[in-house]
Structure 1
């Protein structure tokens, strides 16, 4: 549920060109993914975890990365003001450096996520969860104090997000039940969302306030997911969030262009109009869902799954 809500917010944030909404969503939607991943963390031996994460993160990253890079080089790059060469883009794919992923900037998440989950599990294996919590907290503090930028495989961003992953692991160790007092929980969720929105509007998202604002927004989404409890659409989007993350960039840009041609509007006008932007979001999610169903049947390894043996 959390991943489903999170990936919808990611797509909305990338499509709808409203700076206020953009700032608000970006104040918490990526921390939400790391916290949700930590929530389902299970300790494994280091080698077993690395093997599994290569299958579920690294292989999909390179698979979709190469496909989108080829599409970008042959098609989309011709229509964009980009001076990044193919070799620079290829370097970006292998290094995971944010500044070289212009062809599909959203891919930065996967190498960063890979390093985060592998590192946390190594820490747990070395000194237990308490040590992992402590090191994660210290890394988050270091991110605030020490400027970091452009390290390979998103290591600089690992410092930024590992604290949220640790919070998710910590929450998973507690008894979290579905809320019974729905009215009260709904009011709290609305208050938290309003507070999160206000803090982002006043740009209180720097330094230690980055973590405070993010946790407030994430807490609101957790409450909302508990209030909804079950929703097949959100759960489905959560399960296929990987492929949505990997391909929604080029998909939505094509959809925006088609809509702009049909309505005789500029692409910026389409993205600035809330209703039209939401139409693009719906179409993009539908295309990504269709792509997932095709890929999972023809090449499941691309989305980190093994081929199901037929009897």
Structure 2
């Protein structure tokens, strides 16, 4: 099956930003990363979205592609978390009760998923795609836009009252504009068209992206429900997606494309590999600036993931179990 290398490279850039964003970095770099690293994955989900099946088949496919990895990664990383707690004599560990409660709620609020907080994204994505399935079934474009606007407004209202529905449903409503934006790109063929623009065209998005970040007091942090100025945050998110799309078109590395294909596996385990590499690098040189240390950790983590995925995919059972391509 044909895979668009731009999309795989985009996923590679996105997962690199996710890894970097979960390391100790300066506030400026943190703000840049958190303005776009989740929107770009909503974009990819929209670009690849298909609603051709009946709902039963669609639900089954999304369950196997999203919920099953969520449950698998949650269980495996919980076991790793408990094992490391015993080895390091860390008394601050999650209990089996915490595990089951976290699975039920499916988000990272109120201490849920404390051993692997980024997993909140998968239940959120699942509920988002289920909702968008019904929106997309309507053939009237104006009605689609109306529904996206309505559900987004409900998400904003729920957020203003600090109401967060389990399995990331509130976040799904807030992410809906990115998915709608993404799907529009695929429908109109705009992705190919925009890549043809001269480099001078990208000066304006870059300037607007910088201005929107500078003028905003927050950013799109879905995990902890902080969104700053919504207009500026979403403007930065959309512009950041466009910039990353263009950046991904410059990448011609099969290794990086390979990492993009396996971004789900990397997403599931990066928190633990981050921690291990960080501990080793800090012991070797504890005085490096935060951003330089984070970038070095990112590079090491990507190399280790590349080598480990190459090794694990030799086993068909492990390849299937760990959702490796």
SS of 2:195's equivalent in the other structure is: coil
SS of 1:29's equivalent in the other structure is: coil
8 Å CA contact 1:56, 1:303 repeated in 2: no
Change (3 A) 1:213 1:190: closer
Alpha-carbon distance in structure 2 between the residues aligned to 1:210 and 1:181:
25
8 Å CA contact 1:179, 1:185 repeated in 2: no
Alignment of 1:2-17 (within 5 A): 2-17=10-25
Count of aligned pairs between the two proteins:
298
Indicate the residue corresponding to 2:95 in structure 1. Answer: 85
Of 235, 258, 282, the residue aligned with 2:257 is 235
Change (3 A) 1:249 1:109: same
State yes or no: 1:247 paired with 2:269.
Answer: yes
Q: Please provide the CA RMSD for this pair.
A: 2.5
Change (3 A) 1:285 1:217: same
Alpha-carbon distance in structure 2 between the residues aligned to 1:180 and 1:144:
36
Indicate the residue corresponding to 1:128 in structure 2. Answer: 139
Alpha-carbon distance in structure 2 between the residues aligned to 1:207 and 1:149:
17
1:154, distance to aligned residue in structure 2 (A): 1.0
1:70, distance to aligned residue in structure 2 (A): 0.8
Of 224, 229, 234, the residue aligned with 1:206 is 229
Alpha-carbon distance in structure 1 between the residues aligned to 2:145 and 2:91:
44
Query: TM-score, structure 1 length as denominator?
Result: 0.85
Change (3 A) 1:123 1:187: closer
Alpha-carbon distance in structure 1 between the residues aligned to 2:41 and 2:181:
12
Of 292, 295, 300, the residue aligned with 1:283 is 300
1:239, distance to aligned residue in structure 2 (A): 0.8
SS of 1:75's equivalent in the other structure is: helix
Deviates more, 1:97-106 or 1:282-291: 282-291
Of 255, 270, 273, the residue aligned with 2:290 is 273
Of 264, 271, 279, the residue aligned with 1:257 is 279
Indicate the residue corresponding to 1:46 in structure 2. Answer: 55
Query: TM-score, structure 2 length as denominator?
Result: 0.82
8 Å CA contact 2:265, 2:322 repeated in 1: yes
Indicate the residue corresponding to 1:162 in structure 2. Answer: 176
Indicate the residue corresponding to 1:309 in structure 2. Answer: none
8 Å CA contact 2:158, 2:170 repeated in 1: no
Instruction: Give ranges in structure 1 of 5+ residues lacking alignment.
Output: 307-311
Indicate the residue corresponding to 1:107 in structure 2. Answer: 119
SS of 1:152's equivalent in the other structure is: coil
Alpha-carbon distance in structure 2 between the residues aligned to 1:303 and 1:188:
41
8 Å CA contact 1:59, 1:301 repeated in 2: no
State yes or no: 1:69 paired with 2:78.
Answer: yes
Q: Show CA shifts across 1:153-176 (max 9, x none).
A: 111111111221111011111132
State yes or no: 1:25 paired with 2:25.
Answer: no
1:111, distance to aligned residue in structure 2 (A): 0.9
1:287, distance to aligned residue in structure 2 (A): 2.1
Alpha-carbon distance in structure 1 between the residues aligned to 2:30 and 2:90:
22
Q: Show CA shifts across 1:170-229 (max 9, x none).
A: 1111132253443313433532442344244x4473233332222122222223334x16
Change (3 A) 1:183 1:208: closer
SS of 2:115's equivalent in the other structure is: helix
Alpha-carbon distance in structure 1 between the residues aligned to 2:91 and 2:30:
23
Change (3 A) 1:252 1:229: closer
Instruction: Give ranges in structure 2 of 5+ residues lacking alignment.
Output: 1-8, 220-227
State yes or no: 1:179 paired with 2:195.
Answer: yes
Alpha-carbon distance in structure 2 between the residues aligned to 1:305 and 1:257:
27
Alpha-carbon distance in structure 2 between the residues aligned to 1:178 and 1:231:
21
